[in-house]
């Protein structure tokens, strides 16, 4: 929602008028200098939408504000030039309405198009969330990173490294929406205040590392060469439910230079629905973008969300720092998931992250069953993952 600055307004007074934390107002207006606001300048207010209302007999701004549980001043701000003592019956006024529920629907076949439109809706409603493109998929789709918060500690999450594990994307997005909502309305999640996280943590999220693969699993092969090639790699079968790779048959989570040769030796030697590590490490644009992001941001902590098995892998070659154990024990306590230190599988993002940065990195395997997990498992998975999301920010 937008308002125009009047004489005497400050971001602080605006924050009070709408009861939205000041840092969120400041960061929703990155180009506005709080000390030199000009009259008529447009300011974004996160977490509000404008609705219209028709004046009835006996209405006053005070009466409407009381009924809507907003301040009279907020009504004045969104109806500039209107004289509250001269309201006319039948006149249309604007009412700022606080958004009090999440706006996305995660319980559906969550492809890259749904992700893009959800991100756009969230960015409009919560402009303090930052978004950027960190690269493009093989088919040219944007690889989006979003960031929330301004803390020194950078916590990174990613989802859908593997195509048929796409349920990880809506699980992450449901938390992102809930976090944005709680921040703006100064509410708690599981009894925890969220604003301190906003100040202490910069949350970096890549919700869908393999958008081409996710769309292939959910929507079938695309028109043209990429679709024909994928169909051939899949042995001609139109059933892509077992497909983990990117669109040209490279397993993105087998692409990282951390004992990659071991995987190359024992895994498929050519493009396949799963497990082909590529002809060399980091040949695919999706894995390159993820490696560059880690290099740029130097995450303090990294969580890669996969499915399934309700386990958390947390070690690599004894290179993980001691605090990885403390953190994974907390993840386990809040989720019931089992920590597993080492596994005979290499060249994953978590392996490479631990090896190159010596910071805590985790592969979190959500849910039970056979991939792709049915969306019917969403609520159960979300409840268990919620504790891990929170712990990744306070540990
Ligand atoms: Zn996976």
71-124, pLDDT tens digit by residue?
Answer: 999 999 999 989 888 899 999 999 999 999 999 999 999 999 999 999 999 999
Residues classed as catalytic: 365
Whether the per-residue pLDDT at 282 is higher than 90: the answer is: yes
C-alpha–C-alpha distance, residues 116 and 274, integer Å: 26
Taking only the tens place, the pLDDT of each residue in 188-233 is: 999 999 999 999 999 999 999 999 999 999 999 999 999 999 999 9
d(CA 116, CA 391): 27
* Token reading at 141: 């789709």
| Residue 280 phi, psi (nearest 5) | -160, 165
Structure tokens at 375: 């969306």
The CB density around residue 325, as the number of other CB atoms within 10 Å, is 15
- Dist CA 372 CA 382 (whole Å): 16
Residue 310 DSSP label: S
Strands 301-307 and 153-159 come out as parallel
Closest of 247, 193, 183, 239 to residue 215, by C-alpha: 247
Q: 């899949």: which residue's tokens?
A: 234
Q: How far is the CA of 6 from the centre of ligand 1 (A)?
A: 53
pLDDT at 296 over 90: yes
* Distance from Cα 275 to the centre of ligand 1, integer Å: 10
The pLDDT tens digits for 6-44 are 999 999 999 999 999 999 999 999 999 988 999 999 999
Distance linking the first and last C-alpha atoms of the chain:
34
Question: Crossing angle for the helix pair 112-125 and 168-184, nearest 10 degrees?
Answer: 10
Please write the tens of the pLDDT for every residue from 327-359: 999 999 999 999 999 999 999 999 999 999 999
pLDDT at 333: 98
So what's the pLDDT on residue 104?
Answer: 98
Six-digit token string for 379 = 């609520």
**Which residue in the block uniquely carries the two structure tokens 């447009």?**
42
- Joined tokens for residue 394: 């306070």
CA of 125 to the centre of ligand 1 (A): 32
C-beta pairs of 33-37 under 8 Å, 24+ apart in sequence: 34/10, 37/5, 37/9, 37/10, 37/11
Rounded to 10 deg, the angle between the 285-297 and 349-357 helix axes is 30
- Compute CA 388 distance to the chain's CA centroid, rounded to the nearest angstrom: 14
Please, how many CA atoms are within 13 Å of residue 292, restricted to the half-sphere of its CB?
14
Whole-angstrom Cα distance, residue 395 to residue 391? 6
So what's the pLDDT on residue 231?
A: 98
Distance (angstroms) between ligand 1 centre and the Cα of 328 equals 18
Helix axes of 323-335 and 378-394: crossing angle, nearest 10 degrees: 150
Task: State the Cα–Cα distance between residues 132 and 198, nearest whole angstrom.
Answer: 19
In whole angstroms, what is the distance from residue 177 CA to residue 110 CA?
A: 15
Structure-block tokens of residue 294: 């880690």
CA 167: distance to chain centroid? 13
148 pLDDT band (50/70/90 cuts)?
very high
85 or 50, greater pLDDT: 50
User: CA-CA distance, 131 to 231, in Å (whole number)?
Assistant: 33
303 Cα–ligand 1 center, Å: 12
pLDDT above 70 as % of the chain:
100
SS3 65: helix
Structure-token pair, residue 36? 């030199």
Average per-residue pLDDT for the chain = 97
How many angstroms is it from 8 CA to the middle of ligand 1?
Answer: 55
Q: CB–CB of 95/110 below 8 Å?
A: no
Cα(343) to ligand 1 centroid in Å equals 14
**Ligand 1 centroid – CA 272 distance (Å):** 15
305/348 Cα distance (integer angstroms): 12
Average pLDDT over residues 151-157: 97
What is the distance in A from the centroid of ligand 1 to the CA of 74? 48
| CA 381, chain centre distance (Å) | 16
Tell me the C-alpha distance between 77 and 55, whole Å: 17
Residues with Cβ within 5 Å of ion ligand 1?
A: 162, 165, 306
């Amino acid at each position: 929602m937008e308002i125009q600055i009047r004489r005497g307004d400050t971001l602080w007074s605006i924050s009070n008028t709408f009861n939205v934390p000041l840092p969120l107002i400041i960061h929703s207006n990155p180009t506005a200098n709080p000390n030199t606001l000009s009259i008529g300048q447009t300011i974004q207010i996160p977490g509000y939408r404008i609705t219209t209302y028709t004046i009835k007999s006996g209405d006053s701004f005070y009466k409407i504000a009381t009924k809507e549980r907003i301040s009279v001043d907020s009504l004045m701000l969104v109806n500039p030039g209107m004289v509250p003592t001269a309201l006319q019956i039948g006149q249309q006024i604007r009412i700022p309405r606080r958004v009090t529920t999440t706006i996305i629907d995660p319980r559906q076949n969550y492809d890259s198009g749904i992700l893009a439109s959800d991100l756009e809706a969230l960015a409009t409603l919560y402009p303090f969330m930052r978004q950027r493109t960190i690269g493009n998929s093989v088919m040219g789709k944007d690889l989006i990173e979003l960031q929330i918060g301004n803390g020194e500690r950078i916590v990174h999450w990613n989802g859908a490294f593997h195509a048929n594990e796409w349920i990880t994307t809506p699980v992450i997005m449901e938390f992102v929406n809930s976090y944005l909502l709680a921040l703006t309305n100064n509410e708690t999640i599981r009894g925890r205040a969220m604003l301190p996280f906003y100040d202490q943590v910069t949350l970096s999220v890549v919700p869908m590392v393999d958008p081409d693969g996710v769309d292939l699993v959910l929507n079938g092969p695309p028109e043209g060469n990429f679709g024909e090639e994928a169909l051939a790699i899949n042995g001609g079968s139109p059933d892509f439910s077992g497909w983990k790779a990117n669109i040209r048959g490279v397993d993105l989570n087998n692409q990282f230079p951390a004992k990659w040769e071991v995987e190359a030796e024992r895994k498929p030697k050519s493009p396949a629905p799963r497990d082909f590590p590529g002809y060399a490490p980091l040949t695919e644009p999706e894995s390159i973008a993820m490696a560059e992001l880690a290099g740029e941001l130097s995450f303090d902590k990294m969580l890669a969300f996969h499915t399934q098995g309700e386990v958390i892998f947390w070690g690599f070659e004894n290179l993980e720092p001691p605090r990885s154990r403390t953190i994974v024990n907390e993840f386990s306590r809040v989720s019931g998931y089992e920590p597993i230190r080492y596994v005979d599988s290499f060249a994953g993002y978590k392996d490479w992250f631990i090896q190159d940065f010596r910071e805590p990195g985790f592969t979190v395997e959500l849910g039970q069953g056979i991939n792709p997990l049915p969306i019917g498992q969403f609520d159960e998975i979300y409840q268990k993952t919620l504790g891990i999301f929170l712990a990744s920010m306070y540990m």
